[in-house]
Copies of this chain bind each other. A is one copy, B any other.
Amino acid sequence: MTLSEDQKQEIVNARSRTEKTLRASSAGMEEHLYNAHEVLDHGFVRVIDYMGNDSSIVQAARVSYGEGTKESRDDEGLIRYLMRHWHSTPFEMCEVKFHIKLPVFVARQWIRHRTANVNEYSARYSILDREFYIPEPKHLASQSKINNQGRGEVLSGNEAEKVLQILKDDSSRNYDNYENMLNQENKKGLARELARMNLPMNIYTQWYWKIDLHNLFHFLRLRADSHAQYEIRVYSDIMCKIVKDWVPMAYRAFDDYRVGGAFLSEKAILNMKRAIKGEEVNFETSNMTKGEWSELLKVFPDLKR
């Protein structure tokens, strides 16, 4: 169970206090506020606050005195134009604050995105809960044979069981020892800032994470990369859904121009020019490396006739 009864009650309370505001708001986002979307076995994503909506992007691009345009069709056209031409500053005018619970090894990847504001739960000040990420068997992948930092086939049978047992046992034992060190019968107990180092990196931590829409899109786009680890991708999948409800026009533009799009190199363009003239294009004549060629084939499988 991810949330305690007390925590659930706090969320119910928070959702019961409606206030009047003159600010731009988003009906889709109000639905998400405070509610926890479960991720992995103990994690979650909750929206704590947000600023702006689709029309805030338009307003900023126009440095306008009032609302956006009369016609929402024009708003969408402008938003698409801004996205297509990498005009990032109007998207920076929307902001969102999440409360996220996630395993430490995921947090370590996540924090590499430096353009966000973060307040993490302090294990120097407080004692962490006994909550560890134990993968579902179907996600227990082996090392990829092709990709040095990716996953291959899923482990099965004894092998999978053995791995799960190790993860559970070590988590449990290290947490027991963490508690022991903190609380030495009638003794002083080790400082929390030291005891925490005994905890393995599948333990859960949590933080408040605040970011503007442009940088959030950048973060979310990277999950589309085939190199992103499953355990971080599940968080960005949830956030994509939330953003879609918050700023539907901006999300559609993002989806079309970034998620579904692809960057072609100069060489790739040359090959595509040949292909649309009806020439046969293959690896040998492509002047590309194997890696480049296979990435082009992913976008245009029909090149491989």
A residues sitting closer than 8 Å to B (CB atoms) are 3, 6-7, 10-11, 13-15, 17-25, 30, 33-34, 48-52, 56, 59-61, 63, 65-67, 77, 80-81, 84-86, 89-90, 92-93, 95, 97, 99, 103-105, 107-108, 111-112, 114-115, 117-122, 124-125, 133, 135, 140-144, 148-153, 155, 159, 162-163, 166-167, 170, 173-174, 177, 180-182, 184, 187-194, 196-202, 206-208, 210, 212, 222, 225, 227, 229, 255-257, 259-269, 272-273, 275-278, 289, 291-292, 295, 299-300, 302-303
- Chain B: minimal CB distance from A40 (Å): 12
> In the bound complex, do residue A152 and residue B265 qualify as a contact, i.e. CB atoms below 8 Å apart?
no
> In the bound complex, do residue A149 and residue B122 qualify as a contact, i.e. CB atoms below 8 Å apart?
yes
> In the bound complex, do residue B263 and residue A190 qualify as a contact, i.e. CB atoms below 8 Å apart?
no
> In the bound complex, do residue A149 and residue B119 qualify as a contact, i.e. CB atoms below 8 Å apart?
no
**Chain B neighbourhood of A256, CB < 8 A:** 265-267
Residue of B24, B85, B196 touching A105 (CB-CB under 8 A): B196
Per DSSP, are chain A's interface residues mostly helix, strand or loop, or mixed?
mixed
**Considering only CB atoms, which chain B residue lies closest to A106 in the complex?**
B197
**Considering only CB atoms, which chain B residue lies closest to A115 in the complex?**
B114
For the complex with contacts A155-B188, A197-B202, A198-B201, 18 further pairs of A-B residues with Cβ separation under 8 Å are A10-B65, A10-B66, A11-B66, A18-B21, A18-B22, A19-B21, A23-B49, A24-B49, A105-B196, A107-B108, A133-B197, A150-B191, A173-B173, A201-B201, A259-B266, A260-B269, A263-B264, A275-B276
- Chain B: minimal CB distance from A162 (Å): 7
**Chain B neighbourhood of A291, CB < 8 A:** 81, 84
Q: Please measure, in the bound complex, the distance between the C-alpha atom of A240 and the C-alpha atom of B286, giving whole angstroms.
A: 27
> In the bound complex, do residue A264 and residue B262 qualify as a contact, i.e. CB atoms below 8 Å apart?
yes
Residue of B163, B266, B277 touching A190 (CB-CB under 8 A): B163
> In the bound complex, do residue B112 and residue A118 qualify as a contact, i.e. CB atoms below 8 Å apart?
yes
**Chain B neighbourhood of A166, CB < 8 A:** 177, 180-181, 198
**Considering only CB atoms, which chain B residue lies closest to A160 in the complex?**
B190
**Chain B neighbourhood of A151, CB < 8 A:** 191, 193-194
**Chain B neighbourhood of A198, CB < 8 A:** 166-167, 170, 200-202
Q: Please measure, in the bound complex, the distance between the C-alpha atom of A170 and the C-alpha atom of B170, giving whole angstroms.
A: 8
**Chain B neighbourhood of A143, CB < 8 A:** 182, 188-192
> In the bound complex, do residue B17 and residue A22 qualify as a contact, i.e. CB atoms below 8 Å apart?
yes
Query: Known: A49-B51, A174-B174, A266-B261. Contact between A14 and B22, CB under 8 A?
Result: yes
> In the bound complex, do residue B18 and residue A18 qualify as a contact, i.e. CB atoms below 8 Å apart?
no
- Chain B: minimal CB distance from A287 (Å): 11
> In the bound complex, do residue A99 and residue B63 qualify as a contact, i.e. CB atoms below 8 Å apart?
yes
**Considering only CB atoms, which chain B residue lies closest to A33 in the complex?**
B22
- Chain B: minimal CB distance from A67 (Å): 7
